[in-house]
Amino acid sequence: MDPGVFFFFLIIFIILAIILWGHRQRETAKQKAERFREGLRIEGNELVLPRRMRLVKGRLTLKGYWSSSGRSRHYHIDRKFTQSEELETDRIELKPERFSLIMNKSEETLIDVPAYLLMEPELENILLIPIIPSYRFEIDKQSLEASKEMEFAHARIDLTEWGFSGRLYATVQKCRGARVELKRKGPKVTEKLAETRESAEFSREFMREKLMIISNKNVVDPREFKKVLGKSIFLEGHGEYIIELTLDVPLGSDIHDRATLMAEPGEEIPEGETRVEIVI
């Protein structure tokens, strides 16, 4: 056999073996997580474990992005668990802590959440991720304006318990209209809230459902959060956001005005049941 053909088939075999090995790892991790979930229960604002267990509390950070080389594309995942303390307990208090869940249309992703790593030998690498939404909002300005000659746009923003609402006004002739968008950097995500040539109301509420996610430190894929959140593009959690007003100018530079919205963890625990999901 020609050496070139031999090495071609060898490379194909290695790639297939890696894919099958990764699939097997994920299936094994999922089965272990499903068995563990059967022994969990939630009482009020506490997660009750099957028995007293050794845990490491910390934070899980996931970064995902696509890269291409030649004819192939590959989705890279950077996984990092940062330890803060060790404990032994049979209960975990479900309380608000900082979290970020961000994914854009290119599947560039940032997941930054509190997590508990199980240290029992039979539960190696299993993570418990409580996401308890609660917010305290601050905004640097509540009025946005953009104008060009005799055409202008104005937006008024009011903070609410779970986000913000407002109204957009536009007076345009040559301009296409005005829009308000919510934005975040790293990864870059833009969500359109309103667009009009006259007036429109807009509002944005951040995630308010309580989640308990069971995962695996070594094989978790951030794209799997799309299934839990029910959308392919998401922009949720705490941190710094930009609310941007744009006057859409044809054949010229658009006019912008921006407000910075800060979302910090609140103290109030939302009502309702905690949904338990597996994300591998």
pLDDT digit string, tens, across residues 186-222: 899 999 999 999 999 999 999 999 999 999 999 999 9
Burial of 108-125, coded b for 16+ CB within 10 Å and e otherwise, reads bbbbbbbbbbbeeeebeb
Predicted pLDDT of residue 23: 55
Element spanning 9, H or E: helix 3-37
Distance set, CA 108 to CA 120, 129, 227 (Å):
33, 21, 16
DSSP, res 271 = P
Predicted pLDDT of residue 251: 87
Helices (H), 179-274: 225-229
> CA 156, CA 141: separation in Å to the nearest integer?
9
Predicted pLDDT of residue 12: 53
**Average confidence (pLDDT) over 253-276:** 96
DSSP, res 222 = G
**Average confidence (pLDDT) over 24-38:** 87
Domain boundaries, the chain: 3-134, 135-206+226-265
**pLDDT confidence bin for 72, thresholds 50/70/90:** confident
Predicted pLDDT of residue 17: 47
Please write the tens of the pLDDT for every residue from 73-127. 899 999 999 999 999 999 999 999 999 999 999 999 999 999 999 999 999 999 9
Which residues lie below 8 Å from residue 181, measured CB to CB, with a gap of 6+? 190, 191, 192, 193, 243, 244, 246
Q: Which CATH number is correct for 135-206+226-265, 1.10.10, 2.60.40, 3.30.70, 1.10.3470?
A: 2.60.40
